[in-house]
């Protein structure tokens, strides 16, 4: 089974692009804090690349920006490429479901 769920903040603003076939696509990086401190007493952060296609790419581009908290469900996908005659491998998350988790800040004096 190849399914995972991640919650993290967008590490940069979204840049949507089109493939040669006309599909919308964007790659985002999720910054996910680890649940424990390292030897220096600091929480480390993992940066996970995620790819979103079509409607998901359009939605995250329209509603999110750097720093927003999102939840994703997806699957891991490996890829390889060659640069300067050296073979490289990578891994990314293909997003299948997206949840917007950032709350809208309101500047009113109402008590909740």
Report pLDDT digits (tens) over 6-55: 999 999 999 999 999 999 999 999 999 998 989 999 999 999 999 999 99
Per the listing, tokens 């109402």 go with 110
CATH of the domain at 68: 2.40.50.140
- Average pLDDT of the residues of the chain: 90
User: Is residue 112 a part of any domain in this protein?
Assistant: no
Asked whether 51 and 24 are in contact (CB, 8 A), the reply is no
Spatial separation of the C-alpha atoms in residues 30 and 36, rounded to whole Å: 18
Between β-strands 17-18 and 24-37, what pairing exists: parallel, antiparallel or unpaired?
antiparallel
pLDDT at 103 over 90: no
Q: How many domains does the chain have?
A: 1
| pLDDT classification of 102: cutoffs 50, 70, 90 | confident
Beta-bridge mates of residue 50: 28, 93
At residue 104, the pLDDT reads: 55
User: Is residue 110 a part of any domain in this protein?
Assistant: no
Between β-strands 43-53 and 24-37, what pairing exists: parallel, antiparallel or unpaired?
antiparallel
Q: Which domain holds residue 18?
A: 4-100
User: Is residue 106 a part of any domain in this protein?
Assistant: no
| pLDDT classification of 111: cutoffs 50, 70, 90 | very low
């Amino acid at each position: 089974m190849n399914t995972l769920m991640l919650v993290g903040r967008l590490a940069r603003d979204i840049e949507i692009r089109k493939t040669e076939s006309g599909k919308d696509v964007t790659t985002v990086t999720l910054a996910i804090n680890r649940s424990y401190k390292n030897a220096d007493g600091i929480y480390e952060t993992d940066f996970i690349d995620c790819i979103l296609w079509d409607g998901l790419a359009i939605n995250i581009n329209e509603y999110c920006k750097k720093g927003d908290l999102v939840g994703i469900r997806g699957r891991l996908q490996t890829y390889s490429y060659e640069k300067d005659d050296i073979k490289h491998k990578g891994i990314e998350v293909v997003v299948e479901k997206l949840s917007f988790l950032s709350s809208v800040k309101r500047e009113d004096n109402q008590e909740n």
